[in-house]
Amino acid sequence: MARPKKLRFIKFNPRITFYKPQGVPLSILKITIISKDELEALRLKHYLQLEQKECAKRMKISQSTFQRTLSAANKKIAQALIEGRAIRITEN
């Protein structure tokens, strides 16, 4: 059985939770789902430009968990931009 997911501390609650390419009908787009903890990792590392150790500390997770979360988020965002996908931000 998998280990239960540790609670992450997220201090950012986005008002807008859906993005899509302009001029493309949503009905023909694939959707990439980004979790709020992935968005928080992106915000801390890339927007606030904090060191990885500080980011992990703020989210109350280990550095290795933070790195995996950030890498997953970066991959999803890159895929959405390159393939012209919509992006949905969800709770988990």
Interval 12-26: pLDDT, tens: 888 888 999 999 999
pTM, to two decimals: 0.86
What pLDDT is stored for residue 23 in this prediction?
93
Angle between helices 63-83 and 52-59 (to 10 degrees): 100
pLDDT tens by residue, 38-62:
999 999 999 999 999 999 999 999 9
CA distance 61 to 7: 8
What pLDDT is stored for residue 61 in this prediction?
93
